[in-house]
Amino acid sequence: MVEVNKVPCSKCLSPDMMMCDCSLPSRVDVPIMNTSQEIERKFLLNCDLVKVLKQYHHIEQTITQSYLPDGGEWTIRLRHVVRTATVDRFYLTLKKKICAVSCIEIETEIDRKAYTNAAAHAGPKLCKRRFVFRHEGHTWEIDHFLNPEFNNLVVAEIELDSIHETFATPTWLGKEVTHERKYKNAKMVKQLKAQSQTILT
């Protein structure tokens, strides 16, 4: 059972974000919803992304995400998801690592104003196009990273119900990189921040 009322404030470092009194851009004055255990595995592709997408009916999204500092053992992520020219959504997500393939995830949808206020305090933005489709009973997400620093990196992800769950392996699946930290989104944002600081100095 996850204690969702014990999430750290990213400004005053109070152990409970929902109970602290500071006026915090990353605080959301609505109940946090959608608490779950996320289990995912990551892979590179062994062929061109266009060839993969031709095989499936897929949904395309454009995602911009950044991270708030000082979350302690929690990673605090802001995300702007554009689904169509007229439909976009904003999310605040907190993640706490359990092991290399699993974490606790707490997510709530926020409005544009809350997102904008919080984003002003966040780090560099990671930009990607996401393609979502089904393959033999499982949902796959393929992310094409748009920041030039990542040289058109493409990573495929699958979410599973348990660590030991099996799945059909698509022919386009390449090397597994689940355990390589450089492919974690939060790590990639740290790389962007480090590079920007190097340029400034």
Average pLDDT of span 32-41: 79
Instruction: Please give the model's pTM, rounded to 2 decimal places.
Output: 0.80
* pLDDT given for residue 102 in this prediction: 85
Q: Decide if pLDDT at 200 tops 70.
A: no
More confident call, 137 vs 7: 137
Rounded to the nearest integer, the mean pLDDT of the chain is: 84
Quote the CA–CA distance of 8 and 19 in Å, as a whole number: 10
Quote the CA–CA distance of 78 and 193 in Å, as a whole number: 16
Query: What digits encode the pLDDT tens for the residues 53-110?
Result: 999 999 999 999 999 987 788 899 999 999 887 889 999 999 988 887 888 999 999 9
* Region for 70 from its dihedrals, namely left if φ exceeds 0, alpha if ψ lies in -120 to 50, beta otherwise: left
- For 109, 119, 142, 191, the CA distances from 91, given in Å and listed in that order, are 4, 11, 20, 23
Average pLDDT of span 176-200: 85
Question: Helix (H, G, I), strand (E, B), or coil: what is residue 194?
Answer: helix
Burial of 74 (0-12, 13-18, 19+ CB in 10 A): buried
Average pLDDT of span 35-53: 93
* pLDDT given for residue 3 in this prediction: 38
Average pLDDT of span 23-50: 72
Cβ contacts of 156 within 8 Å, gap of 6 or more: 42, 43, 44, 45, 140, 141, 142, 143, 173
CA dihedral over 147, 152, 153, 157, signed as positive or negative: positive
Query: What digits encode the pLDDT tens for the residues 150-178?
Result: 999 999 999 999 989 999 999 999 999 99
> Domain spans of the chain?
33-200
* pLDDT given for residue 33 in this prediction: 58
Question: Helix (H, G, I), strand (E, B), or coil: what is residue 133?
Answer: strand
The CATH architecture assigned to 33-200 reads Beta Barrel (2.40)
Banded model confidence at residue 195, pLDDT cuts 50, 70, 90: confident
